[in-house]
Amino acid sequence: MTNALQHAVRLFGVARQLAAHDALFPRELTDELPWSARTLRRLFALRLPSRRRRAELEGKSQGERLALALGRLGPTYIKLGQSLAARPDLVGESVATALSRLQDRLPPFATAEAQRIIADDLGRPLTTLFAQFEAEPVAAASMAQVHRAVTDDGRTVAVKVLRPGIEGAFRRDLQALAWAARWMERLIPAMRRLRPQEVIRTFAEVSALEMDLRLEAAAASELGHGLRQGGGLGVPLVDWHRTARRVLTIAWVDGIPVGDRTRLAAAGHDTKLLARNLIQSFLDQALGQGFFHGDLHQGNLFVIADGTIMAVDFGIMGRLDKAMRRFMAETLMGFITADYTRVARVHAEAGILPPEKSVDLFAQALRSIGEPILGRPTSEISIARLLQQLFMVTETFAMETQPQLLVLQKTMVVVEGVARTLDPEMNMWEISRPAVERWMTETFSPEHRLAEAADGVALLVRRLPWMFDRAETLARQVTEGGIRLHPDTARAIAAGQARAQRHLWWAVLLLGLAVLVAVVDGRL
C-alpha cells in the first residue's frame, strides 16, 4: 500500500508537469476526450502554463510541447520520450517525429565529483591513472558526461563517468511507470495489445545497460568483434584497466562528425560511399549478428582519415534472436519483391498475426503500404517509414507489440536520416538489398541448415548421459516403490524412454550420413 501511494504521488507530479506544458490532455484533442478526461483537464487547468511558459509554448505542436515537458522531467523521461519516438502506432506519427528530436543534454556536473567517482570505482588516485585529465567535459547527457584524458603511456582516451545518484532516480521512476503499466492493462483492455508492461520492462533493461558502464564496454567489444571486415564501420578499443561500473574508458576518436557534409567533402571523403557503408553495416549488425548499435545518430558517428565511420556511445544496443531476424529479413525481402502474400504468411508463421485473422486480408493491407512506396522515386523510398506504417497496421489486426523490434525500428529511422544527409538521392532498396540477400543466402543455404542440424544433434549428444541417468533414476524409483504409478503408466514411460533413445541414435546416424554425402558432394 505504501509503495502504491508513493508511485501515485510521483506520477501525479509527472502529470502536473505535463499539464503545465499542455501535454497531458492537449487542446488539440479536447473534442475527442471523454467527459472524465475533460473534467481532469479542467482540474489541471490550475497548473496550465504561466505567462512565460505560454510564450515559450507559443506555436509549438502537441509533440513539441510533450518533448519540452519530458526534457524538464529529467533523465528517465528523456529516455522514455526517445523510446516513444519509435511508437507512432501509440503516440501518432507527428508526435513520434517531434519526440525523435528530443535532445539528451543536461548541464554537466562538477568535475571534482567526476574525479572522485573515477578514483573510487577504479581504486586508484587519478594521478596514477592519467597523465592529463581535462576539467571541462566534452559532452554531458542525462546519464553521464565525457572527459578527454591522456594515459601514462601517451594514449588519448575518452572517459565516460556516470552521473551521481542516477541509479536511484531511474529505479524510482521505473517502478512507478511499471505500476502504472500494470493498472493500464487491467483497466483498459485495449491497451493489452500494446503490451505496456513489456515495453516498460524492455525500457528498464536498456536503461540498466546504460547504468553499468562495464556492460557498455562489453557491448562495444562484442559489436567490434562481430563487424564485417571492410564494412566501413569501426568501434574504438576499450581500456579495460580503466573501466568499472561507473567509469568507461575507450580510445579517443579523432574524426569529422558524420553530419558535417561540407567538411567531409573537403577532406576528400566519398559521402555516397559513406551512406552506403552505414546502411549496409547496420543491416549486417541487425540481420547477421542479431546485435546492433541502437543509437546511431549524428553525434555518435565520426569519419576518420581512412574513411571508416567510427561509432561511439554503446549504452543503447538491440538484439534480435534468429527467429526474429529471419522474420525481418523475409519481411524486407517480401516488400522489395512486392510479394505481399509472402510477408503476410511470414507474420502468421511467426505467430504475430493472430490465427483467427485472414492472411489474405492482411496481405491486402500490406499492399496498401507497399504499392505507394514502391511507386515513388527511389530517392523518396524510406524503409524506416515502411516499418512505421507496418507497425501502425498491427492495431487493425489486433497484433501484439514485439518489444525487440522497437529499438530496431527506432534506429532504422535515425540511420536512414543520417544516411540521407550524406546522400540525399540514395536508393534505400538498392543499398539494402545486398545485405538482406546475403543474410538470406547464408541462412537458407544447405551448408547453414546442415550446420544448424549438427548443432542440434550435438546438443542432444551432450545431454545423453543426463538422459540415461534420469531414465535409470526413474526406473529405480518405480521398481523400488519410490513413485506410485499404475503398472500401465510405468510401462508407457519405459516404452517412451526406449523410443526417445532409438530416435536419438537414428538422428546421430542420419547426421553422419548427411555429412558424408556433403563431403563426397564437395560441400565440406
Supply the DSSP string of 451-496, one letter for each residue.
HHHHHHHHHHHHTHHHHHHHHHHHHHHHHHTSS---HHHHHHHHHH
The DSSP bridge pattern shows strands 309-311 and 233-234 to be parallel
For residue 21, give every residue at least 6 positions away whose Cβ sits within 8 Å of its Cβ, in sequence order, or none. 49, 53, 57, 65, 66, 68, 69, 72
Percentage of residues in the chain having pLDDT higher than 90: 25
- State the pairing for strand pair 156-162/247-251: antiparallel
User: Residue 367, exposed/middle/buried by CB under 10 A (0-12, 13-18, 19+)?
Assistant: middle
Between 220-224, 364-368, 513-517, the lowest mean confidence (pLDDT) is in 513-517
Determine contact, residues 220/250, Cβ cutoff 8 Å. yes
Residue 455, pLDDT > 90, answer no
Confidence tier at 223 by pLDDT (50, 70, 90): very high
> Is residue 281 predicted with pLDDT exceeding 80?
yes
Give the mean pLDDT of the chain.
78
Please, are residues 370 and 362 in contact by the beta-carbon 8 Å criterion? no
Confidence band of 148 (pLDDT split at 50, 70, 90)? very high
Q: What is the pLDDT at residue 381?
A: 62
Beta-strand pair 301-303/309-311:
antiparallel
Interval 234-239 mean pLDDT:
96
For residues 114 and 324, the model is more confident at: 114
- Which three cell numbers mark 412? 532504422
Gap between the Cα atoms of 301 and 70, Å rounded: 25
Distance CA 479, CA 366 (A): 60
pLDDT tens-digit profile of 153-172? 999 999 999 999 888 888 88
Confidence at residue 108, expressed as pLDDT on a 0 to 100 scale:
92
pLDDT of 458 > 60? The answer is no
Tell whether the model's pLDDT for residue 519 goes beyond 50: no
Phi and psi at residue 214, in whole multiples of 5°? -65, -35
The region, left, alpha or beta by phi > 0 then psi within -120 to 50, assigned to residue 271 is alpha
pLDDT top residue among 264 and 196:
264
Start-end of H helices in 74-212: 75-84, 88-91, 93-99, 111-122, 126-129, 166-187, 196-210
Q: State the Cα–Cα distance between residues 454 and 452, nearest whole angstrom.
A: 5
Instruction: Using the predicted structure, report yes or no on whether residue 251 has a pLDDT greater than 60.
Output: yes
What confidence score (pLDDT) does residue 222 get? 94
Can you give the pLDDT at residue 515? 47
Q: How far apart are CA 478 and CA 73, in angstroms?
A: 63
User: What distance in Å separates the CA atoms of residue 520 and residue 524, rounded to the nearest whole number?
Assistant: 8
Cell numbers representing residue 322 in the block? 534468429
Mean pLDDT of 183-189: 77
CA distances from 282 to 73, 305, 415 (A): 32, 21, 8
Q: Are 16 and 44 in contact (CB under 8 A)?
A: yes
At residue 524, the pLDDT reads 46
Average pLDDT over residues 121-143: 93
Helix, strand, coil percent content, the chain, rounded in steps of 5: 65, 10, 25
Predicted pLDDT at 258: 94
Query: Residue 306's pLDDT is what?
Result: 94
Segment among 67-76, 83-92, 177-186, 236-245 with least mean pLDDT: 83-92
Res. 363: pLDDT tops 80: yes
Q: Indicate if the pLDDT at residue 120 is higher than 50.
A: yes
Higher pLDDT, 230 or 475: 230
Read off the pLDDT band of 319 (50, 70, 90). confident
Handedness of CA 272, 275, 281, 283 (dihedral sign): negative
**Alpha-carbon separation of residue 138 from 111, 161, 251, 480 (angstroms):** 12, 12, 14, 73
Active site residues: 295
- 506's torsion region: left (phi>0), alpha (psi -120 to 50) or beta? alpha
Which region among 206-220, 230-244, 462-476 has the lowest average model confidence (pLDDT)?
A: 462-476
Query: H helices within 382-463, ranges in order?
Result: 383-393, 403-422, 428-444, 446-462
The residue ranking higher by pLDDT, 514 or 234, is 234
Lowest model confidence (mean pLDDT) among 179-183, 198-202, 241-245, 281-285: 198-202
pLDDT at 411: 81
Q: Is the pLDDT of residue 11 over 50?
A: yes
Q: pLDDT for 334-354, tens place per residue?
A: 877 888 898 889 888 888 888
Give the list of residues 6+ apart from residue 470 with CB closer than 8 angstroms, or none: none
**How big is the CA angle at 476 (ends 475 and 482), to the nearest 5 degrees?**
105
Q: What is the pLDDT of residue 401?
A: 62
From 4-13, 85-94, 489-498, 504-513, the region with the lowest mean pLDDT: 504-513
Backbone angles phi, psi at 329, to 5 degrees: -65, -45
Average pLDDT over residues 187-193: 69
